[in-house]
Structure 1
Amino acid sequence: MLKARETLHTLEKLKKQLQKKYKTTDVQTADPLPSKDQQLIASIRDKTKKLNINNVTRTKAYLDFYLRHPEIEWAFLGHMVSRNGGWNMTDLKGEFLAKLLTEKEQMQFFSFLERGNWLIFQDIYPQFLLYEESLTRQQPHFSLLPHLNVSTFMEVVWPEFWKNENRTTLALAMIINEQSYLEKRVIQHPEYQNTVLNTIMFKLQDLLNMSHIIFPYHQKPNAINSLVGRTLNQFSSLPRRIGLGKQLYAILFSDPNRLKRIMNWAVATPHTGSRKDYWPHIFNNVKETLPGQLYIPQTKNCMLQKGSQHIYSPRLEYAWKNSNHAKAEAGDWFTSWSAIDYLEPITENINGEIKHDYCETIEKLEWTVFTKNVLFQRQQ
């Protein structure tokens, strides 16, 4: 009850601060910065750019930061979700989707995933570095956030965190910020609307329940890694994406013992982009099937049948080249008070059971590929 009361008090303070911010004409961004601050901004941008090369470098950067600052819980959530982003990218060149999509469609899907992954990092990581510098200098420097093109929303949230150290409120605010940041830049962007979000294959992905976010962890010594997570349908819905982020956060941080196991797995398992990282008993980053070979379904309940070949899941570095990105679109997403409502924490218990659905998806994909191959052979 006390924690709920503290959270409610924090939310009310944030609302008042945002109202005050909107009523004030902010001219700070037009004023020249002292040279020391200019150097700091330049350094932050340079460090962010060097780490924002591809999904693997971003994912590692999130984990490294979390290990330095475990109070910034979104950093670990971001790390685990970014791992899933990498797996989704390599799936496009893996055993199944490479057979279901044309090369053009694969590239369009990758561009969609990569742009979102890149945009989130270039928005959130400068915030992390500014917080880290504030700790070093022992005083907040969040007035510099506008110079890093960070939303007014976070410009108000960070000083409150500095004062009250409410980890949950900060994490939820970051979930809201990042998903809202993507809304016009990726989800509603005409290019991705036309090539990805409105395509038959994206709807097929939704139908097959392929939008799983999974968190592996060691349950028992020498046993197959356990999985928890959630599935997102209707990816184009902002409220659903924010809701999913809150659920994933609850799955990670509601159970300290499970959190420790997930974190131990993440630290011990470098992210490569291959699903072999968590289930080497099913996946391999080396292709075992021969070119043109008819794929026969070979898994049951996420176990390979005797004598079956592993499912191909390549490393990111072999699946995709690094991308050159256009500059992030300008503008502040925070134009509606309704975003504040999303800050309410989840109160219900979420166990995160996902293995059954995930295994079912693998089997659906196997049979989809098998059916397509059989029909294609009959037409020849």
Structure 2
Amino acid sequence: MVDIFCLIKKKKKPVLPPFLLEIKDELKKKCKGLKTVTMKESDLTKAEKKLVQQILLQTRIKNENNVTRTQAYLDFYQRHPEIHWALLGHMVSRNGGWNMTDLKGELLSNLLSKQEQQSFFSFLERGNWLIFQDVYPQFLLYEESMKRQRQLFYLLPIFHVSTFMETIWSHFWKYGNPYILAIALVINEQSYLEKQVIQNHLFQKKVFNTIQFKLQDFFSLNHILFPYCDSEHEKRNIGLIGQTLHKFDSLHERILLGKRLYSLLFHKKEMLDKVVRWAMSQPHTGTRKDYWPHLFNDVYESTPGQPYRRRIKDCQIQQGIPRIYSPRLEYAWKNVTHAEADIEDWFDDWTIIDYLNKQDEDMNGEITHEYCETLEKMELAIIAKKAIFRPQ
């Protein structure tokens, strides 16, 4: 994976702060193969085997679909707010659910074929499932460590978690730095996704090489939105902050996006409180009606057979025109039975530690105008497509 990080290697190497030097030394040892002992289930005590099975069972139950995963992240964050990634993962997973239902919603269903919808859903669902089955056992092992007041991270290899994260969790247990843990989890999950999904030849063929995927940059479809409400009494007036990713197939860009999203959530406590307030008050269902019911509805309001007409102007539905159909996940897609993940540790380059350097970015993340422009572009694309393929 050395060349994957060439972008950061070409730049002048940043000076590592003292608290990262310990992580660096441990990761360098692992890269040199000085710590190659692997743990097998047969090496465990009876009590350890029972704990492992409990964690695997809980992970499997919560990993049923995007809605259950997303809720599990939020529930864990409520129990352990020191684990910042749990909230970040919850909010990003909400976006994953919205992207899934968009495929059956009124806009994208007019632009994509049935086969394309299925391929894109399989890609989104596989990634969402993989990340959860990797990260949730880590969370439960941390929770059990807290209960017993002794760290159990030596069990991480049983769950096929990267050796990178064993080092990071041990560091977190010792120093309690929430930023280091959160960004390390961003690095871990995106690197894991790179191996398991992005480099998968089937997804390369059916998703990344399709015209529709390449058009995502044009439409700016890769918006990550964080809804928020200013107070408990302002639930109708939901604001949006977020970021846009333009190179989904770039590991480097996805990691940097994760760092920016983390800053949006945790740089200012006032904004964090607003996002958490909304998340706690609005259960995740997969429909975009969850945050903007003035634009979206989970009931199909349009008259069947009628040609699509423009509806959105300045983030509002024009008077007397139906809202955009955005279904709930449970009605859009059935649950999927997944094949087991490949067992392979992505970590082989300690220089990824450069990503752990903190760089506070003072950005407001305002994305409402950009997002509404995207919706309007999609409407125009639908109208253009219907005009081109209209029977003469």
TM category (shorter chain) comes to over 0.9
Q: Which residue of 2 aligns with 1:119?
A: 130
Secondary structure at the counterpart of residue 93 of structure 1: coil
User: Where in structure 2 are the equivalents of 1:155-234 lying within 5 Å?
Assistant: 155-219=166-230, 221-222=233-234, 223-234=236-247
User: Where in structure 2 are the equivalents of 1:16-165 lying within 5 Å?
Assistant: 16-22=25-31, 23-30=33-40, 32-165=43-176
Give the superposition deviation at 1:291.
Answer: 2.2
CA contact (8 A) 1:250 1:346 kept: no
Distance 1:310 1:331 in 2: 46
Secondary structure at the counterpart of residue 241 of structure 2: strand
Instruction: State the TM-score, normalized to the length of structure 2.
Output: 0.93
> Structure 2: which 5+ runs fail to align?
1-15
Of 351, 358, 365 in structure 2, the residue corresponding to residue 352 of structure 1 is: 365
CA contact (8 A) 2:229 2:238 kept: yes
Secondary structure at the counterpart of residue 285 of structure 2: coil
Stretch deviating more after TM superposition (281-290 or 77-86): 281-290
Give the superposition deviation at 1:13.
Answer: 1.1
CA contact (8 A) 2:65 2:336 kept: yes
Give the superposition deviation at 1:300.
Answer: 1.0
Stretch deviating more after TM superposition (248-257 or 215-224): 215-224
Stretch deviating more after TM superposition (348-357 or 261-270): 348-357
Give the superposition deviation at 1:298.
Answer: 1.1
CA contact (8 A) 2:263 2:360 kept: no
CA contact (8 A) 1:44 1:126 kept: yes
Counterpart amino acid of residue 190 in structure 2: Q
Q: Considering only aligned residues, what root-mean-square deviation do their CA atoms show, in Å?
A: 1.5
Q: Which residue of 1 aligns with 2:9?
A: none
CA contact (8 A) 2:27 2:350 kept: no
Distance 1:35 1:363 in 2: 59
Distance 2:135 2:21 in 1: 24
Counterpart amino acid of residue 102 in structure 2: D
Distance 2:376 2:22 in 1: 49
CA contact (8 A) 1:247 1:346 kept: no
Of 273, 279, 288 in structure 1, the residue corresponding to residue 286 of structure 2 is: 273
Counterpart amino acid of residue 272 in structure 2: L
Q: Which residue of 2 aligns with 1:3?
A: none
CA contact (8 A) 1:214 1:227 kept: yes
Distance 2:277 2:237 in 1: 15
Counterpart amino acid of residue 19 in structure 1: K
Counterpart amino acid of residue 216 in structure 1: P
Distance 1:26 1:44 in 2: 25
CA contact (8 A) 1:73 1:171 kept: yes
Are 1:10 and 2:23 matched, yes or no?
A: no
Distance 2:328 2:286 in 1: 5
Secondary structure at the counterpart of residue 230 of structure 1: strand
Are 1:254 and 2:258 matched, yes or no?
A: no
Give the superposition deviation at 1:131.
Answer: 0.1
Stretch deviating more after TM superposition (104-113 or 200-209): 200-209
Give the superposition deviation at 1:28.
Answer: 4.3
Secondary structure at the counterpart of residue 389 of structure 2: helix
Give the superposition deviation at 1:346.
Answer: 2.4
Secondary structure at the counterpart of residue 314 of structure 1: coil
Counterpart amino acid of residue 164 in structure 1: Y
User: Where in structure 2 are the equivalents of 1:290-369 lying within 5 Å?
Assistant: 290-369=303-382
Distance 1:181 1:306 in 2: 47
Give the superposition deviation at 1:372.
Answer: 1.2
Q: Which residue of 2 aligns with 1:4?
A: none
TM-superposition CA deviations, 1:164-194 (whole Å, max 9, x none)? 0000000000000000000021011001000
Of 288, 291, 298 in structure 1, the residue corresponding to residue 301 of structure 2 is: 288
- The percentage of counterpart residues that share the same residue type is 55
Hey, which bits of structure 1, 4+ residues long, moved more than 6 A? Answer: none
Q: Which residue of 2 aligns with 1:371?
A: 384
CA contact (8 A) 1:172 1:345 kept: no
CA contact (8 A) 2:67 2:329 kept: yes
Counterpart amino acid of residue 235 in structure 1: F
Give the superposition deviation at 1:8.
Answer: 1.8
Counterpart amino acid of residue 224 in structure 2: I
Distance 2:347 2:19 in 1: 19
Equivalent residue pairs, number? 375
CA contact (8 A) 2:295 2:324 kept: yes
Distance 2:212 2:239 in 1: 29
